[in-house]
Amino acid sequence: MEIIVTSPWTPLEWIEAHGLEPRGVWGLPACDRHALAEGVCAFAQRLRALAGTPSSQPMIFTTACDQMRRAADAAAEETATKVFLFNLPATWKTPAARRLYHQEVKRLGRFLERLGGRAPDAAGLWSVMRDHDRRRQAERARASLEKAGRTASRGAPLALVGGPALPGQPNLCELIEAAGGTVALNAAEPGERGLLPPLPGPQTGRADPGDPFAILCDHYFDHIIDVFQRPNSRLYEWLGPRLTERRVRGLVLWVQVGCDLWRAEAMSLREAFGLPVLVLESTETGGGFAARDLNRLSAFIESLR
């Protein structure tokens, strides 16, 4: 059975170790093109619409923002889809926040068991964790090869920063490159920002590498790089060295219309890194991009040359 995951901060390994198949919402086929209800983020709307499709698989929402919570409530109340709302701690500096994250992963396990999953033993969980670790390593290698190819293209190096990009929405990397830029860092979703670093345990080669459940939970908890946490300094600490190392000259901030969280970062990003920021907003859940936005993108890239 597939389980639809809507945030990079839900441990996929935990789902898979229960014998179920995690599937990121980003890779699902595009939904019908439709104008958005006022003030509602396109991503949250897309999740609610997905839950309403007759063949929908169980979905894991998170408490990352109010829009997502409301989408989860609506999906649970108005559709037959099984919904789990994962309480992502809004802070990360306290032991209580870490404990909450561990408890939520345990609670998710009980939800998965109710769906027919089996609780994994330590060996089973390690095996899935190592496998995901290898896959992430391959993904990092692929991203770095692509980056090298793009760098060779000599377009103005840009960072794409922001929230989720949906299938059917414009392919921003392609648009940026077509306009003469190079995506030197993709920090939208899905992208490098959601790619966890290597796990600490499996590489050590110790006879007893430790409790996989605790290691998995800590690993995710320690690497949530996102806009919703307070303080959200980890986002800036993650971006800083990468922007310098990749000689980024400008930021394209991708914002789902109605997403106040990402939109509010525009000024802080500008001030923190001293780089120009272009805000691009989605206006619909599917389809193209307004000509006006394409012109703004081209003019922005032109100004960086």
Q: How far is the CB of 85 from ligand SF4 (least distance, A)?
A: 13
Cα 92 from chain centroid? 17
- CB-based contact 301:180 (threshold 8 Å): yes
Which of left, alpha, beta for 154 (phi over 0: left; psi -120 to 50: alpha)?
A: left
Residues near ligand SF4, by CB under 6 A:
41, 43-44, 64-65, 67-68, 163-164, 256, 259, 261-262
Q: H or E stretch including 294?
A: helix 291-304
Residue 43 or 220 having the CB closest to ligand SF4: 43
Q: How far is the CB of 259 from ligand SF4 (least distance, A)?
A: 3
CA angle 54, 58, 62 (to 5 degrees): 125
* Cα maximum dimension of the chain: 60
Residue 155 or 163 having the CB closest to ligand SF4: 163
Residue 182 or 282 having the CB closest to ligand SF4: 282
Q: How far is the CB of 59 from ligand SF4 (least distance, A)?
A: 13
Peptide bond into 58 cis (omega under 30): no
Count the helices and strands in the chain (H runs, E runs).
11, 8
Q: How far is the CB of 62 from ligand SF4 (least distance, A)?
A: 9
Residue 126 or 262 having the CB closest to ligand SF4: 262
Span between the terminal Cα atoms of the chain, in Å: 49
Q: How far is the CB of 100 from ligand SF4 (least distance, A)?
A: 19
Q: What is d(CA 142, CA 46) in angstroms, rounded to the nearest whole number? A: 29
Q: How far is the CB of 164 from ligand SF4 (least distance, A)?
A: 6
Q: What is d(CA 49, CA 167) in angstroms, rounded to the nearest whole number? A: 14
Residue 101 or 254 having the CB closest to ligand SF4: 254
Residue 64 or 108 having the CB closest to ligand SF4: 64
* Structure-block tokens of residue 135: 């896959």
Residue 165 or 217 having the CB closest to ligand SF4: 165
Residue with tokens 């949250």: 44
Q: How far is the CB of 69 from ligand SF4 (least distance, A)?
A: 9
Q: How many residues does the chain have?
A: 305
3-state secondary structure (DSSP) of residue 47: helix
Q: How far is the CB of 68 from ligand SF4 (least distance, A)?
A: 4
Count CB neighbours of 207 within 10 A.
5
Residue 163 or 250 having the CB closest to ligand SF4: 163
Burial class from Cβ neighbours inside 10 Å (0-12, 13-18, 19+) for residue 40 reads middle
